[in-house]
Amino acid sequence: MDNQVIEINEIKKFYQVGTEVVKALQGVSLSITQGEYVAIMGPSGSGKSTLMNIIGALDTPTGGQYVLNGTDVSRLSDDSLAEIRNKEIGFVFQTFNLLPRYTALENAMLPLIYAGVSKIDRQERGKEVMESVGLSDRMHHRPNEMSGGQRQRVAVARALINRPSIILADEPTGNLDSKTSVDIMRLFDEIHKQGNTIILVTHEEDIAQHAHRIIRLRDGLIESDLVNEQVAAF
């Protein structure tokens, strides 16, 4: 039986905006198994960013249940959510979110500092992930000495460093040119082949086509949830 990494049941998220209630998610249910590569798509206002925030333990739902690796995170405290984020989820953002004064290696190692890992182990794991993303010759460069593609590779290394259950990528090619985007998506393909679970949030069809399964949202509901036949055939 497949190992369920994520189980979402009837998740709702409502926001009060003035006198109006915005129903960002209106009862979303889905499951993701270990090793899947899933893209979440949808137009502006579809609820995909809200769903990403809930999956990433950055927000809590108004209703419904979210189980991550057997733990119900729907009602966890802020401190517990922070711990879940650090241990279970590796984030890759559109804007890289690197600290300018730190080297690439130091940026990649940050989650290990928060996790209380020793300096020797941090160095060893940091060098390992930097090599895995093709940056063994850029470890000691700072972000302003690197290209956009290299900075995003540092962000990917940082996401991988805690060996998380999920890599959650939010528009990871949004700030990159077409050629660099192809390189970054090739890197995600390689990461997936190594057994990682990847959830990709994007509005770009060509980027979503790298995933093996595409979930489309509209008006806070799942419009379709289909296997990507083109990729699944390989």
CATH code, 108:
3.40.50.300
- As a whole number of angstroms, the distance between CA 226 and CA 48 comes to 16
pLDDT of residue 234: 52
pLDDT digits (tens, 9 = 90+) for 112-167: 988 889 999 999 999 999 999 999 999 999 999 999 999 999 999 999 999 998 99
- As a whole number of angstroms, the distance between CA 40 and CA 82 comes to 23
Whole domain around residue 174: which residue ranges?
Answer: 4-232
pLDDT of residue 9: 96
pLDDT of residue 76: 86
Query: Residue ranges of the chain with pLDDT lower than 70?
Result: 1-2, 232-234
The model's pTM is: 0.90
Per the structure, the count of domains in the chain is 1
pLDDT of residue 1: 44
pLDDT of residue 29: 97
